[in-house]
Structure 1
Amino acid sequence: MHAETREPYEPDIAGGVTARHWHRLADGRLQCDVCPRECKLQDGQRGLCFVRARRGDDLVLTTWGRSSGFCIDPIEKKPLNHFLPGTPVLSFGTAGCNLTCKFCQNWDISKAREFDRLTDLATPAAIAETARRHGCRAVAFTYNDPTVFLEYATDVAEACRAHDIKTVAVTAGYINPAARADLFRHMDAANVDLKGFTEDFYHRLCTSHLANVLETLEYLRHETKVWFEITTLLIPGENDSDAELERLCAWVAEKLGPDVPLHFSAFHPDWKMTDIPATPKATLLKAHRIGRAAGLRYVYTGNIHDAATQGTPCHGCGALLIGRDWYDITAWGLTDDGRCRHCGTPCAGVFDGPPGNWGAKRQPVRVLSGRVIAGA
């Protein structure tokens, strides 16, 4: 591509773009301020995420414009059950992560330490145009955490806004306040992984801290207009006790309110926890009951097939507002402005007329130099 036609911030593939949120220390090291790890780097070193690196006197993001792959998914797969239901979302990630979760379900991407995982090169404008051509209502930053590729994610979000395409962050919420405000001012929706509800869990299995994630959740609820939902992956023997689930649900109800959807998802053995069995369905049904008993209006189960705990009931009259069979919408009881057709009670969320009919389809796409290749 000729220099005069390059987009702002388009990097040399061998280099990267100058990162935001860092400062120089008295001893000459550069401290990355994006997340609470605050990695302190000598020249040539990378942070724990592996993708934010020091190059001379700059901190750079090495994965700008590089993706581990693109796919069109149902929005419910993020999971987001109350954000433009039934519509397709263009999903992509890069490489690296700022957590070290031993149970990571996307470890081949998030734990990648080699750029051979990054097979697709795409500018923000090309991604936005791809989403537009395929009728996607949103673009999701997922598979790995957009916290570590904040500059790329926000550039893509700005390009999407020009096409009236929404943006979604799927994140663990482990981010410092200034970077948090920078990221989420560009986002329309988010799903935040609340991985457990004890400091011990976060310390042992993620080498991070619970308090920072809770701060992100309270920030989203009280200081932004971002629609967000929460997902907790239940791991047998680690974060699935009645007492912990009761504390988690009570905290959500008290600090965030009853309208924030909470998804309990089934764990499957992976990464460094292959010795732990998959989550029994009974555990998820128990968690669903605990959430509802705590006063939460929208509690869901994931990674299992159970229509009763995956539909959305009206908290006013009990009518079924949205029926779901995996990612297919089977019933629709909402008015165009998101109210129950039976009693008029509003359903919390972002609704825009009748639902889409994308369903459970998953369509890989490639975005190369502005060209779109479907089904590749």
Structure 2
Amino acid sequence: MAGSAPLSRGLRAGQAWFHRLDDGRLQCDLCPRDCKLKEGQHGACLIRERHGDAIELTSWGRSSGFCVDPIEKKPLNHFYPGSRVLSFGTAGCNLACKFCQNWDISHSKELDRLQDQANPQQLARLAGELGCHSVAFTYNDPVIFAEYALDVADACHAQGIQTVAVTAGYINPGPRQLFYAAMDAANIDLKGFSEAFYKQYCGARLAPVLDTLAYVHHETACWLEITTLLIPQANDNPDELRQLCQWIARELGPEVPLHFTAFHPDYRLTDRCSTPASTLELAQQIGHDCGLHYVYTGNVHTRDGGTTHCPGCHSVVIERCGYSITAYQLDEHGHCLACGTALPGRFKPYTGCFGNRRIPLRVHP
């Protein structure tokens, strides 16, 4: 399957995420942007394009790169801690974040950035050979290459490999059901907690993301963690952070892990300073004050930023330095060795951690 372009017409098992309008255009039904396309036009995501009577995924089987990462980098702190994950993405995105940290990939209009090619069976086989417990769809949003992600997920599950989605959660209810049914874990960006922020900084809406978060947590078996990138003078207001944390505690519950990560100037938002550690520490404290059990910080070093505490006896059960685990006090089922309290998440017998390494790969058809 690898080597042709496009490698797939983007139609999966008869599932068509588009419909014809009265004026002859085709409306893409994958995400809330509802792009309406004439012949030859592509959607806002850049990789879904109309050809004849169908909207095709032009990036199936093509990637902007592959890398072996620690699972904590996704970030996922309660999903097989210490394990390694095979990460890859494609090109394009269905949001327009001014602060995008991967803008050269997610906002690329050039499919020649997709240099590596691999079919789903190749990826599943490679993950197993590299000792990866999971494969992550990341770098850009996997929602827009859902057909490819789902095909890879099928191949991975056939080999006993887990799947991870790192996504903004901007997807319509119909495809959302199929997409998250194939994911074992997801880290979903909650980029801010106001419609004004989403409109001004992301070109999107907040409400569909909240709907996705609630759906994934309550209606699927997919393990969920949440990330909020804190941007100075944009979404770091303590009152807004308190509202965000209160919503998570009320609508999802206190056991859903929340990661506050630091912004650095990039793309179209270079007029802001990097997020200071003090802002992350304040956000973490707000999360704890709102009753959340697991609030982490990332991208800069803070005291206890990556430490997991037992909610029962408050002892340290996982101590991290960056992406490395320096102490691990859970049994194979995720119970605290001191008091027996079960931590939420997915766990297996701990055999050490992959650590802070990052191994870029080239995959050849």
TM-score between both structures, scaled by the size of structure 1: 0.94
Report SS of the residue matched to 2:227.
Answer: strand
Report SS of the residue matched to 2:146.
Answer: helix
Aligned residue among 300, 312, 315 for 2:296:
300
Match of 1:53 in 2: 49
Question: Counterparts of 1:26-105 in structure 2 under 5 Å?
Answer: 26-105=22-101
Give a deviation string over 1:143-194, Cα, whole Å, max 9, x none: 0000100000000000001110000000000100011111111100000000
Aligned residue among 129, 137, 140 for 1:141:
137
Give a deviation string over 1:226-269, Cα, whole Å, max 9, x none: 00100000000111011000000000000000000000000000
Count of aligned positions: 361
Aligned residue among 339, 343, 346 for 1:343:
339
Distance 1:69 1:108, change over 3 A: same
Aligned residue among 2, 14, 18 for 2:10:
18
Aligned residue among 102, 122, 142 for 1:106:
102
d(CA) in 1 for partners of 2:232, 2:62: 36
d(CA) in 1 for partners of 2:227, 2:55: 32
Aligned residue among 173, 179, 182 for 2:169:
173
d(CA) in 2 for partners of 1:165, 1:288: 33
Structure 1 unaligned runs (5+)? 1-5, 370-376
Distance 1:18 1:310, change over 3 A: closer
Report SS of the residue matched to 2:343.
Answer: coil
Shift of 1:14: 4.4
Shift of 1:308: 1.2
Distance 1:18 1:328, change over 3 A: closer
Matched, 1:290 2:282: no
Match of 2:348 in 1: 352
Structure 2 unaligned runs (5+)? none
Report SS of the residue matched to 2:234.
Answer: coil
Aligned residue among 314, 319, 324 for 2:320:
324
Match of 1:374 in 2: none
Aligned residue among 243, 246, 256 for 2:242:
246
Distance 1:132 1:15, change over 3 A: closer
Matched, 1:257 2:247: no
TM-score between both structures, scaled by the size of structure 2: 0.97
d(CA) in 2 for partners of 1:269, 1:127: 33
Question: Counterparts of 1:102-251 in structure 2 under 5 Å?
Answer: 102-251=98-247
d(CA) in 2 for partners of 1:44, 1:332: 54
d(CA) in 2 for partners of 1:289, 1:261: 14
d(CA) in 2 for partners of 1:14, 1:138: 26
Matched AA of 1:39: C
Q: Does the 8 Å contact 2:6/2:59 carry over to 1?
A: no
d(CA) in 1 for partners of 2:211, 2:118: 33
Report SS of the residue matched to 1:309.
Answer: coil
d(CA) in 2 for partners of 1:309, 1:303: 10
Give a deviation string over 1:350-371, Cα, whole Å, max 9, x none: 00111542111111112212xx
Give a deviation string over 1:209-231, Cα, whole Å, max 9, x none: 00000000000111001001000
